[in-house]
Amino acid sequence: MNDSSRLGKVQLGSSNLFVSRLGLGCMGLNAFYRPFDGTGAHDEKESESFLRQALEMGMNFFDTSDFYAAGRNELLVGRALKPVREQAVIATKFGITWDEATQTRGINGRPEYVRQCCEDSLRRLGVDVIDLYYYHRIDPETPLEDTLGAMAELVKEGKVRHLGVSEATGEQIRRAHAVHPIAAVQNEYSLWSREPETDALPACRELGVALVPYSPLGRGFLTGKIATGNALSEEDWRRNNPRFSEEAIEANKKFVDVLAAIAQRHNATAAQIALAWLLRQGEDIIPIPGSSRLSRLQENLAAASLQLDAEDVDLINAKLPMGSTAGSRY
C-alpha cells in the first residue's frame, strides 16, 4: 500500500479548528535527528518546498516549537507557509529552555516568560496569530494555573486562537482546562508508548480534548529501519536514549516483527500499520509523525486509508501488550 491519498479533516477537540487526520511534526527538518551546522542553513530551501508539498497533499496541521533548533525551526515553518498561511493550522510550543553556557535544559512556566515566548514565536513564524499554543513541559516551580492564566490572556488579546498542554497527566489536563478550555494535549503515544491510555486519554475524552501523539512511530524504531544503534549518525540524540541501547533494540525487535507480519497481509509497511493502529483508536487522536522526505510523507499519508481488522488488533494486543517495551522513554 504505497500510494498516498488525500486526507480528510477532523475537528481538533472542541475548538473551531479542522485539521488533517495526520499532522506533520516539523522538528526533524533541522533539529535533533539530522546533522545541523548551527546556522539554520541545512537544506532550508528543500525543507520549505517539502512543507508546501505536504499541504498540497492534504496535510494542513504543522507542529513546531521555540525549542527546536533554538527557534530556527519556527523560522523555517514560517517562511515555508507564509504564502499559504490561511490554508495551514500552525501549532507551536513554549516552556523548554536551554542554557548554552552549561549545556543544560530547563523548564520555565512563569507568566512573564509566557508572554515573551509568544511574542518571539509570532515574530519568527511571521504570523499575526498562533492557531494552537502548547505549554511544552510543565514547570514544577510555577503553579499551573498561573501559567494557563497568562496563556488565556494571549487568547483574549487575539495573539493565540487555542491552547494546549504537552506531556501532561490527567490531573494536570483537568486543572489546565478549568482555567481555560484546552483544545489539544500533545503526549508521546504509540504502540511502544501506550501510557496515555491509562490517564491522559480518559481525561481528554471526559473534557472533549484532542490527543495529538508525537513520536507515533517510536522515534523511527517502529518503521523497522533501525536494526542497531550504529544505524544512527553520531549527532543523533537517540544514541543516548535508553530505548536505543543495543540491548533494548534487540529486546524491542518483537514490535517490528509483529508489525511486519501484519504489513505483509495488507501489502503495507510496518510504519503504516503503526499509524493505522493509532488512527483506529478514534478520531480524537491526531498523530503528527515527523518526516523530511517526500517518499516517507507519501507512505505516512497512505496509512490513513488502511483498515486494520480484528485479527490484526488481537495479534497486537497479544504480542505487544502495554508495558512490554524495553527501556525508558527518556
Q: Which residue bears the cell 479533516?
A: 9
- Residue 249: CA atoms inside 13 Å, Cβ hemisphere, count? 20
The catalytically annotated residue of 68, 134, 135, 189 is 68
Task: Name, in order, each residue with C-beta under 8 angstroms of 52's C-beta and a sequence gap of 6 or more.
Answer: 80, 81, 83, 84
212: CB partners within 8 A, 6+ apart: 23, 63, 91, 164, 184, 185, 186, 187, 285, 286, 287, 288
Q: Is 134 a catalytic residue?
A: no
Closest CA to 53 of 63, 45, 64: 45
Cβ partners under 8 Å of residue 211, min gap 6 = 184, 185, 187, 189, 196, 200, 201, 204, 284, 285, 286
Residues marked as catalytic: 68
